[in-house]
Amino acid sequence: MIKPKQIQRIRRVLVVDDQEINRDALGVILEDHYDVLYAENGKQALDICREYSGDISIMMLDLIMPEMNGFEVLKTIREDEQLRNIPVIVLTAEKSAELEALQLGAADFIAKPFLDMDEVILARVSRIIELSEGRQLISAAEHDPLTGLYSRNFFFEYVNRIYTYHPELHMDAVVMNIEQFHIVNALHGRDFGDVVLRVIGEEIRAFLRETEGIASRNEADRFDIYCVHQDDYGALLKRFQKTVAEISPNINIHLRMGVKYWQENLEPTLMFDRAHAACNKVRGDYQNPLMIYNEAMQEKELLKQKLLNDLRSAIEQRQFKVFYQPKYDIQSNPPQLSSCEALIRWQHPELGMIPPGNFIPLFERNGLINIVDNYVWAEAARQIAKWRDKYGVTVPVSVNLSRSDVFDPTLVDRLVKLVAENNLEPKQFKLEVTESAYTDNAQRLLDVISQLRTLGFEVEMDDFGSGYSSLNMLSEMPIDVLKMDMKFIRNIESSTTDLHLVQVILDIARYLRVPVVAEGVETLGQLNLLRDSGCNLVQGYYFSPPVPPDKFESLIQKECEAERN
């Protein structure tokens, strides 16, 4: 195989000396290896450097020259952002000048005259160029090219060094985010988004010049700052917000900030985790965009982590308990037990009974809800079969279908297998789908629901009316039951508006020819209004709270006795 030749960057050497003989002598040594440029004085040298912006690999600089000497050139290079990375080898016969040149940033020296020094000069030039290019590569990885702040990995390396070697510095962790930055990019273009990032980076660097600290652009729209404690982080956030507003007076760009104060023996990575958690707490809160991490938040975060860590052992030890809340057909007289909903509780050995609102959203956010759902499904299917065998009646049970379940390619096969193993009919194992599952990927949900209904499963739309896309869901998704959110039921006895809303939902259901389950029914007055309005089924504390299987059996027994009589 013929390998393509390696393309190498042209290395340019700038020789600066007012004596032509010296320029010629160096040219003879260097021209076979480098592209050599020449200057007769310092001013001319700086003009060439700027003309070849970034393409001068090394400068060989005489110190004693007319118009602008070598010391002035070194000072100018050191102060110029564009030129400061050019390494300089000083050409001098004055040993006393070496110290001052070093202090001004010179990389090496070559003594005049250049007799019999060809190999030495080439070796020194090559070494300095390689060192310089190596430093530039490291610098490119070390800094975010857009903002000039540290990249994430280097930032935490330096943060850990500060933490280790300067324990006397009480440094706070600050995380700042740009709200909805992807929308800013989408509406106004990435070039404008880059301007916003660059300006924020400049203002952060300006702040750090006033205090001790370092900063990084951690992600696309996240900035991390490790700085000596500030008395007023609200003022700091306003400073950054003002800077952003000045470049975009007609565009609303909002920043939010989370802070974790210095804490003895708390490592920086943990500090930034907590600052990030605080920053996320104020996501979308434009009135209060600053959050200081506190003990209450810490306790809550520790509890969340414990629940996440304990999930698998809870499954293995059967700490999760499935409760059942009955649904009654209120168009019958008296109302008849129709079905029930499976609801999970966690009997934690240390924390006691944990309500689902404390762990279900947590597991959903962390992609673990499938584990819980599978547990509930298995328990519910087994319980339907147990009641059937014991009482000779089948009480259908509704179980929840989470967003992540919809994307599981094995979902349909697992549900079919589950009902088959318990000798159930699919319609006895009802599936409740919430609106949030629809908003994530509507087409995927529609495909799965259609497939399940074809196999005989019944699908209930849960919490209808709780979000903006419920009506859109009704127009597209085939369903068998509509569950009305309890917020509509709460005030129907005292509010004619709420009662009218309920009646509108019932009219929609009649048009679709599907029954309605009203959730959260607690009083006889609510029950009568719903019955008179044509509601089919109710669920709520008026009949029974969610109860464990043994207590639910008393409801089945009561129903069986009523039928015998």
Q: In this structure, what CATH number is given to the domain that contains residue 184?
A: 3.30.70.270
Buried b (16+ CB within 10 A) or exposed e, 540-564: bebbbebbebeebbebbeebeeeee
Same domain, 138 and 156: no
- Report residue 521 as tokens: 């029914």
Query: Could you tell me the residue range of the domain that residue 132 belongs to?
Result: 12-142
Residue 24: inside a domain? yes
- Report residue 489 as tokens: 């039921």
- CA 494, 498, 499, 502 dihedral sign is negative
- In this predicted model, which residue has the larger pLDDT, 68 or 471? 68
Same domain, 424 and 546: yes
Residue 311: inside a domain? no
> Does an H or E element contain 91, and which?
strand 88-92
Average pLDDT, the chain: 87
Same domain, 384 and 274: no
pLDDT tens, residue by residue, 418-477: 999 999 999 999 999 876 666 556 778 888 888 999 999 999 988 776 654 456 666 667
In angstroms, the CA 9 to CA 54 distance is 12
- In this predicted model, which residue has the larger pLDDT, 396 or 300? 396
CATH number where 50 lies: 3.40.50.2300
pLDDT at residue number 394? 93
Alpha helices in 257-368 (DSSP H): 268-281, 295-316, 360-365
- In this predicted model, which residue has the larger pLDDT, 427 or 129? 427
The position carrying tokens 């020259």 is 65
Confirm if 200 and 240 have CB atoms less than 8 A apart: yes
pLDDT at residue number 141? 55
Residue 302: inside a domain? no
Confirm if 114 and 22 have CB atoms less than 8 A apart: yes
pLDDT tens, residue by residue, 364-388: 888 899 999 999 999 999 999 999 9
In angstroms, the CA 299 to CA 557 distance is 45
Domain boundary among 278, 293, 308: 293
pLDDT at residue number 3? 37
In angstroms, the CA 342 to CA 379 distance is 9
Same domain, 409 and 539: yes
Mean pLDDT across the stretch 311-323?
Answer: 95
Q: Can you spell out the DSSP letters for 180-228?
A: THHHHHHHH-HHHHHHHHHHHHHHHHHHHTSSSEEEEE-SSSEEEEEEE
Same domain, 97 and 223: no
Residue 309: inside a domain? no
Using a 10 angstrom Cβ sphere, with 0-12 exposed, 13-18 middle and 19 or more buried, the burial of residue 82 is exposed
CATH number where 425 lies: 3.20.20.450
Mean pLDDT across the stretch 478-482?
Answer: 86
Is the link from the previous residue into 4 a cis peptide, with omega within 30 of 0? no
Buried b (16+ CB within 10 A) or exposed e, 19-32: eeebbebbeebbee
pLDDT at residue number 521? 95
| CA-based end-to-end distance of the chain | 93
Give how many domains the chain has, as a whole number.
3
pLDDT at residue number 2? 34
Same domain, 472 and 531: yes
Q: How large a percentage of the chain has pLDDT more than 70?
A: 92
Same domain, 421 and 506: yes
Mean pLDDT across the stretch 126-154?
Answer: 74
Same domain, 425 and 533: yes
Confidence of residue 542 (pLDDT cuts 50, 70, 90): very high
Specify the 3-state DSSP secondary structure of 434: coil
Residue 3: inside a domain? no
Mean pLDDT across the stretch 515-527?
Answer: 94
Residue 298: inside a domain? no
Confidence of residue 323 (pLDDT cuts 50, 70, 90): very high
Domain boundary among 97, 112, 142: 142
Same domain, 338 and 469: yes
In angstroms, the CA 442 to CA 375 distance is 26
8-state DSSP, 83? T
* 307, 354, 358, 503 from 349: Cα distances, Å: 12, 10, 16, 45
Same domain, 347 and 488: yes
- Report residue 364 as tokens: 């959903």
pLDDT at residue number 434? 75
Same domain, 129 and 159: no
Would the pLDDT of 139 be above 70?
Answer: no
Q: Which residues fall within 8 angstroms of residue 279, CB to CB, at 6 or more apart?
A: 175, 176, 177, 256, 257, 258, 291
Residue 163: inside a domain? yes
* HSE, side-chain direction, 13 A CA sphere, residue 222: 16
Using a 10 angstrom Cβ sphere, with 0-12 exposed, 13-18 middle and 19 or more buried, the burial of residue 35 is middle
Residue 300: inside a domain? no
pLDDT tens, residue by residue, 230-243: 999 999 999 999 99
Same domain, 95 and 171: no
Confidence of residue 5 (pLDDT cuts 50, 70, 90): very low
Domain boundary among 142, 174, 193: 142
